Amino acid sequence: MSAKDFDVLVIGGGHAGAEAAWAAARLGARAALITFDRSAIGRMSCNPAIGGIGKGQMVREIDALGGLMGLVTDETGIQFRMLNRRKGPAVWSPRAQTDRERYAEAVRQHLENCPNLTLIEGGVERILVASDATAARRVTGLALQDGRELRAAGVVVTSGTFLRALMHTGEQTTPGGRVGEASAAGLSDSLRQLGFELGRLKTGTPPRVARESVDFDRLQLQPGDDPPAPFSFLTHKLEREQVPCWITFTNERVHELIRANLHRAPMYSGQIASRGPRYCPSIEDKVVRFADKTQHQVFLEPEGRDSERIYVNGISTSLPIDVQARVVHDIDGLERARVLQWGYAVEYDFVPPEQIEPSLMTRRVHGLFLAGQINGTSGYEEAAGQGILAGINAARFADGQSPLILGRDEAYVGVMIDDLVTRGVTEPYRMFSSRAEHRLHLRYDNADARLTPIGRRVGLVEERRWQRFQDRQQRLETLRAALGALRWEGRTVRDWLKRPDQDDAQLAQAVPDLHEFYAEADVWASAVVEIRYAGYLERQMRAIEDARALEAREIPVDLAFEAISHLRREAVERWTALRPRTVGHAARASGIHPTDVTLLLVHLGRRVSVSG
């Protein structure tokens, strides 16, 4: 290929790479996605499920911006459930079990049919850079393992768990980012040579067993919701038979076996030194950390409608194969199970994310963006959320436009990126609703109201989505008016809905004019949550205003933090390293006390009066 082949190059065809390439190309950038194996595009490395608490909201946000993940989940989902339903719509989180093979195939097909996008099979060895007149380095392209060079103004790296990756099963180690796939050593070296600090993390996966070898009759069935709620705002209705999952449990025998073999577990034998996700522990971690528990839940999840593979969710492990076999066969319902794939752990390099801007562009090399697991996160949704932003911003960078940055009060995606760049990570970062201080405002049902206008402004939301958004807003407006006007037993429906114990279904039954509105579950949920949580929402809006005031207070780029009177040494060091853009940004940095922020504000006040 010759010089200036593309505007944006994306390395990696995982969940971050797919969204980045899709976004950049749909914004009109000439984009290429380069990945080791074209048939592995969109592959789910671990469980075949999308969404969950905090994550489901992010998928709705990606969809509202014009992304891919929600659409593909609706196309290939085999079981849909709304989690947290008993806690009220403010924290409802959608989750879907998908058909693993069909999911990857659908992602690949969307990308193959996307105008402006070229898919290239190959391994990237090196990131090419040049220095400009100001000596700042900027990216110019990539060199592939086979000697090809590709040129572009923007490059997005989404290499996932593949950088210098090493897989562990007991004492056995194999280079590779995922079972049967390669490790990317050259790209890791290239990042280091460019001056990036790299860290090391680990994650793990459980065994998969053959469906026909499981004794389902004795297990608890877990059905999907009826009716199922779609992920994408573009999906009107999901009309498809749902597939059940099953629940079983570990037991004292299993725990005893694991305890007796801990010396052969790479995490405990010292073979793996890097940190894994605390919230998603291996079965050996659970047995050690929760020593008093006599059982742990295990979900048996089909990997597809017709797939023979069952994912054994809850026993992620890197124990040796002989121990894994005994663990599996000691679990109720799995006594005869035939194991199709053994569990393993993988260690990989990541780039500690304090080295990137909120736009996801690196501070060191202009035009170089990082997204997904490479930034220290874990999970498909976290990767996709960063991917769409990196794709948008790489395309905007190539076109000379300013970046799109989402605030903590606008999106979970904004919360995640701010957490990453401000606080860094010490273990794989996963989204939870508790990470979002404005979570009542960042709901699954209003993701479109929060983000579709932004997606439209940047050019990612096409006419069809825009029309649907406007229709939905119109229907919501009509419903709000109806709830205030319709009456039952002397009160307005709105007043009835304010009562926390009110049964919505009963009310809709009693007031015939409500039937049609109640049937449209997600519009109904939006209207009801606004009424039921009005007081909390008002308080949250005031908190958002306060936070915005701090965010609007910019810190001069040349501010010497050591000149701030009485500021603690830790705060000086933290802020000097972080170089916060605003007072809000400075306040959120880890280890910062409220008094540090007060001193900063006093100093900025003085500075303004001196210089102004």
Chain residues binding ligand FAD by CB under 6 A are: 11-17, 34-36, 40, 45-46, 123-124, 158-162, 178, 184, 187, 203-205, 280, 316, 346, 372-373, 378-380, 383
Q: Which residues pair with 488 in a beta bridge?
A: 491
Contact between 36 and 121 (Cβ < 8 Å)? yes
Find the length of the chain: 612
Pick 12 or 66: Cβ nearer ligand FAD: 12
SS3 assignment, position 238: coil
Please, what is the minimum distance in Å from the beta carbon of residue 290 to ligand FAD? 18
Question: What angle (nearest 5°) sits at the alpha carbon of residue 313, between those of residues 309 and 316?
Answer: 105
Please, what is the minimum distance in Å from the beta carbon of residue 299 to ligand FAD? 13
How far apart are alpha carbons 212 and 267 in whole angstroms?
Answer: 32
Please, what is the minimum distance in Å from the beta carbon of residue 185 to ligand FAD? 9
Pick 158 or 452: Cβ nearer ligand FAD: 158
Please, what is the minimum distance in Å from the beta carbon of residue 120 to ligand FAD? 9
Pick 62 or 346: Cβ nearer ligand FAD: 346
Pick 55 or 494: Cβ nearer ligand FAD: 55
- Specify the amino acid at residue 177: G
Instruction: Write a three-state SS string for 540-593.
Output: HHHHHHHHHHHHHCECCCCCCHHHCCCCCHHHHHHHHHHCCCEHHHHHHCCCCC
Distances (CA, A) of 181 to 169, 317, 355: 15, 19, 28
Please, what is the minimum distance in Å from the beta carbon of residue 301 to ligand FAD? 12
Strand order in the sheet with 166-169: 172-175, 166-169, 344-350, 199-205
Please, what is the minimum distance in Å from the beta carbon of residue 541 to ligand FAD? 32
Phi, psi of 196 (to 5 degrees): -75, 140
Pick 69 or 90: Cβ nearer ligand FAD: 69
Pick 89 or 177: Cβ nearer ligand FAD: 177
* DSSP H or E segment with residue 75: helix 69-76
Please, what is the minimum distance in Å from the beta carbon of residue 205 to ligand FAD? 4
Pick 76 or 158: Cβ nearer ligand FAD: 158
Pick 38 or 607: Cβ nearer ligand FAD: 38
* DSSP H or E segment with residue 389: helix 380-398
How far apart are alpha carbons 369 and 390 in whole angstroms?
Answer: 6
Please, what is the minimum distance in Å from the beta carbon of residue 206 to ligand FAD? 8
Q: Which residue blocks in 241-379 are alpha helix, DSSP H?
A: 252-260, 266-269, 283-289, 321-329
Summary count for the chain: helices (H), strands (E): 21, 24
- Return the closest-CA partner of residue 449 out of 498, 522, 518, 392: 522
Contact between 42 and 383 (Cβ < 8 Å)? no
Please, what is the minimum distance in Å from the beta carbon of residue 430 to ligand FAD? 6
Pick 66 or 123: Cβ nearer ligand FAD: 123
